Amino acid sequence: MSRRSIDTSDPLIVALDFPSVEGILSFLEKVGEGIRWVKLGLEAFTRGGPSLVREVKAMGYSVFLDLKLHDIPNTVRGALQGLLDLEVDMVSLHCLGGKRMLKEAVGVLREGGGKTPLLVGVTVLTSLEREDLREMGIPASPRDQALLLSLLALRCGLDGVVCSAEEVEDIRARTGRDFLLVVPGIRWEEMDKGDQARTSTPEEAVRKGADFLVVGRPITRSPEPLAVVEKIRREVEEARGKGQ
């Protein structure tokens, strides 16, 4: 599966990590057409399910359904077949599911016909540091592990991966321009990192080569979310200008 034509001119994906469906819908009513992409993760999906996804899609947003699927190949196949009916635009699964699981997922989308979602693999969660990996029996650094899993995802035919900005340059150098890099953990230096360990500013991430930026709390917890959105977009344009 090669990268399909996708507009990354506005790379911002807003993570809708709210404790209720009402909170998600209220936020979307507030921002309206001020954003294009949104991310619905496990918290949103367990509270709102497929009906929430359909409602958000009906409002005109592009949806990244970030469920981080990770199971035996046949189970992931069945889950993806069910998700195709939701017509989401991007879906995630864990690269640690292994080659057979990843290839099975790619196969489902090839069989789906028509419009299918972009498939991205989660490499190393941005909440993890080297010591966390060691405790799980992984001797590699987050950077080396993310690169290893990105190359596996590329060989298996995924459209891209989710990684921190710290790994973007290494992954881009080995995977090429057509491999999508989705970067969460976006924070400004003066902000509380929360549960994020490997973070970056929007400008840093884009300058290094990120295609999409996933931003949640800095936007959703702001009293003026669209002002933060515009700040991010300005930084993106400045970073792209410097790279020319």
pLDDT at residue 3 in the model:
46
Give 78-129 pLDDT, tens digit per residue. Answer: 999 999 999 999 999 999 999 999 999 999 998 876 689 999 999 999 889 9
pLDDT at residue 228 in the model:
95
Answer yes or no: are the C-beta atoms of 88 and 63 closer than 8 Å. Answer: yes
**Partners of 13 in the β-ladder:** 37, 214
Residue 65 backbone dihedrals phi, psi, to 5 degrees: -90, 100
What the block records as the tokens of 227 is 């002002």
- Residues annotated as part of the active site: 68
Q: pTM for the whole thing?
A: 0.92
Q: Which CATH superfamily is domain 12-243 in?
A: Aldolase class I (3.20.20.70)
pLDDT at residue 195 in the model:
57
Give 130-171 pLDDT, tens digit per residue. Answer: 999 999 999 999 999 999 999 999 999 999 999 999 999 999
What's the mean pLDDT when you consider all of the chain?
Answer: 92
C-alpha dist (Å) from residue 223 to 31, 35, 217, 219, 230: 11, 16, 11, 9, 14
> Where do the structural domains in the chain lie, given as residue ranges?
12-243
Q: What's the chain's Rg over C-alpha atoms?
A: 17
Q: Please choose, from the candidates 58, 241, 29, 82, the residue with its C-alpha nearest in 3D space to the C-alpha of residue 67.
A: 82
Give 2-18 pLDDT, tens digit per residue. Answer: 445 677 889 999 999 89
Residues near 112 by beta carbon (within 8 Å), at least 6 away in sequence:
81, 84
Identify the residue with better confidence: 209 or 244.
209
Residues near 155 by beta carbon (within 8 Å), at least 6 away in sequence:
99
